[in-house]
Amino acid sequence: MSGKTKNSVELYSRALDVIPGGVNSPVRAFRSVGGDPLFIKSGAGARLTDEDGNSYIDYCMSWGPLILGHADPDVVEAVRNTALLGTSFGAPNRMEVEIAEMVSERVPSIEKVRFVNSGTEAVMSAVRLARGYTGRDRIIKFDGCYHGHADYLLVAAGSGLATLGAPDSAGVTKNNASDTIVLPFNDPQRLEDALKKEQGMVAAIILEPVPCNYGLILPEKGYLEEARRLCDRFEVLLIFDEVITGFRLAPGGAQAYYNVLPDITTLGKIIGGGLPVGAYGAGADIMSRVAPEGAVYQAGTLSGNPLAMAAGIAALRKLDSLKAWQILRERSEKFRSYLEPVISKYEGRLLFTRLESIFTFTFTGKGRISSLEDVKEADMKLFAEFHREMLKRGVYLSPSGFEVGFLSTAHGDDDLAKTASAVEESLREIM
Ligand code: KE4
């Protein structure tokens, strides 16, 4: 760890001249953790190397897609071999069928699926489909959940908006957001009251079954089941945004993990193996409304492109062959066992929350995070100091206290042990 960042600094200054904020996605700008973003040259397994040759154990993992680690050899080979045959045809390709079959076999509520190019596109399409299917306009989202940057969902959102301290976005017209109702997560009574009050006007509720964009908020026991029951009672569609949890918590995502089936599911990240992919799926009846079969229009030049499909197929196949979720559970348990003795010294000041291979460090006196308020009270300044100290010690955490960390099958015991030591030294430094 030379700690030198000369090349990153130079690249950032050039980037600022030609890219807003010097980044192609706001949360990468290190705004809430301070300092300038590092420019990454390469990744391999659990490690990143920046333009100055500094190497880091990475837990941002490109915000979730890289469940197999960086530059997984099987994924890279699939992309290389496919590229030699062409990168996009704008016509159907066998791999679109193969990956659609894989998704439909694994995700319990999905019979048919449409591939798009990002999680945002998947969610936009899912909401339009819900509105088209029900003929209703209103949608209910939950405070702190982030569903990409479609106008009407940039309301009380998490992720980069929370990081920048602006839960809503400029440029979203009042009209556009007027059909979006925001409720607190983990509060079934508020959901029932809203569905009663808005009876007959709500097309769907959309939620991250496990919110991962405002820290890691675990669903209270029975909450997801109650949301399902309320949607059935008020004949409202339930959309699970599984862009993060899909293929992460279990082969069938959160809906399999918690055994609660939504009407529509959105996917992204992992299913693209690191290439731009999103998807939305549902039962055949609902998906029959999507053009060209039905009247809900959605399209995309590069949707289902061979490269992204090949990467996704290679990733999903490898997850199955590795029985990756068992490995990830063991890694997560090992990580906790390494961290326990360190973090227990700071009980009442630091909380380590994890769910399978997702985790967060939250500087709070609370023993559990179950609402947005709990996260709002956390000390994000201390997180910023922690992030900086960890970087100095060669550990790259997601550059925001509102984001989560991810383990991959490429994180070995040595990486986890080294990380626990870096946590211990960093905490000693800042606490
Ligand atoms: P994308 O359009 O960024 O592919 O996906 C949007 C999205 C939708 N739904 C959920 C649950 C998501 O978490 C996301 C995107 N996640 C953030 C990080 N938590 C992306 C990082 C970024 O914005 O750069």
Do residues 117 and 300 lie in contact, with contact meaning Cβ atoms separated by under 8 Å? yes
**301 and 362 housed in the same domain:** no
The reply to whether ligand 1 has any atom less than 6 angstroms from the CB of 398 is no
Give the residue from 321, 336, 361 where a domain finishes.
321
**304 and 361 housed in the same domain:** no
- Quote the domain boundaries for residue 29: 2-71+323-430
**292 and 347 housed in the same domain:** no
Q: pLDDT (tens digit, 9 = 90+) per residue, 154-176?
A: 988 888 888 887 768 888 888 88
**125 and 262 housed in the same domain:** yes
The reply to whether ligand 1 has any atom less than 6 angstroms from the CB of 54 is no
Cis amide linkage into residue 292, ω under 30° from 0: yes
Cα dihedral across residues 344, 427, 372, 328: positive or negative: negative
Residue 278 CA, closest ligand 1 atom number? 4
Token pair of 337 as six digits? 């066992």
Kindly report the number of other CB atoms within 10 A of residue 24's CB atom. Answer: 10
**193 and 51 housed in the same domain:** no
Q: What is the pLDDT of residue 160?
A: 86
Do residues 78 and 418 lie in contact, with contact meaning Cβ atoms separated by under 8 Å? no
Cα R_g (the chain), whole angstroms: 21
Count of structural domains, the chain: 2
**216 and 98 housed in the same domain:** yes
Residue 26 CA, closest ligand 1 atom number? 24
Our mutation pick for probing the ligand 1 site, out of 19, 28, 63, 123, counting the most ligand atoms within 8 A of Cβ, is: 63
**252 and 340 housed in the same domain:** no
Catalytic residues: 146, 241, 269
CA dist 72 and 76 (Å) reads 6
For ligand 1, the distance from its centroid to the CA atom of residue 120, given in whole angstroms, is: 7
Residue 276 CA, closest ligand 1 atom number? 4
Do residues 95 and 309 lie in contact, with contact meaning Cβ atoms separated by under 8 Å? yes
Q: What is the pLDDT of residue 164?
A: 82
Q: What is the pLDDT of residue 166?
A: 74
Q: What is the pLDDT of residue 14?
A: 98
For ligand 1, the distance from its centroid to the CA atom of residue 416, given in whole angstroms, is: 26
Which CATH number does the domain housing residue 36 bear? 3.90.1150.10
Q: What helix, strand, coil percent values describe the chain, rounded to 5? A: 45, 15, 40
The reply to whether ligand 1 has any atom less than 6 angstroms from the CB of 22 is no
Q: What is the pLDDT of residue 1?
A: 59
Cα dihedral across residues 246, 252, 257, 263: positive or negative: positive
**What is the DSSP annotation of 278-344?**
EEEEE-HHHHTTBTTTSSB----TTTT-HHHHHHHHHHHHHHHHHTHHHHHHHHHHHHHHHHHHHHG
The reply to whether ligand 1 has any atom less than 6 angstroms from the CB of 37 is no
Q: Which of 64-102 are b and which e, b meaning 16 or more Cβ less than 10 Å from the residue's Cβ?
A: bbbbbbbebeebeebbeebeeeeeeeeeebebbebbbeb
Token pair of 364 as six digits? 């709070």
The reply to whether ligand 1 has any atom less than 6 angstroms from the CB of 146 is yes
Which CATH number does the domain housing residue 258 bear? 3.40.640.10
Do residues 263 and 231 lie in contact, with contact meaning Cβ atoms separated by under 8 Å? yes
For ligand 1, the distance from its centroid to the CA atom of residue 53, given in whole angstroms, is: 28
For ligand 1, the distance from its centroid to the CA atom of residue 110, given in whole angstroms, is: 21
For ligand 1, the distance from its centroid to the CA atom of residue 83, given in whole angstroms, is: 26
**34 and 174 housed in the same domain:** no
Q: pLDDT (tens digit, 9 = 90+) per residue, 55-102?
A: 999 999 999 999 999 999 999 999 999 999 999 999 999 999 999 999
**168 and 83 housed in the same domain:** yes
**205 and 306 housed in the same domain:** yes
Spatial CA neighbour of 115 closest among 283, 316, 309, 318 = 309
For ligand 1, the distance from its centroid to the CA atom of residue 295, given in whole angstroms, is: 27
Spatial CA neighbour of 355 closest among 210, 255, 156 = 210
**146 and 280 housed in the same domain:** yes
Give the residue from 321, 351, 378 where a domain finishes.
321
Our mutation pick for probing the ligand 1 site, out of 32, 243, 266, 397, counting the most ligand atoms within 8 A of Cβ, is: 243
Our mutation pick for probing the ligand 1 site, out of 147, 159, 214, 400, counting the most ligand atoms within 8 A of Cβ, is: 159
CA dist 313 and 97 (Å) reads 10
The mean pLDDT values, 10 residues at a time, for the chain of 431 residues are 87 98 97 95 98 98 98 98 97 98 98 98 98 98 95 87 81 88 96 97 98 96 98 98 98 98 98 98 98 98 98 98 98 98 96 98 95 94 98 98 97 98 98 94
Residue 27 CA, closest ligand 1 atom number? 24
Give the residue from 260, 293, 321 where a domain finishes.
321
**24 and 166 housed in the same domain:** no
The reply to whether ligand 1 has any atom less than 6 angstroms from the CB of 208 is yes
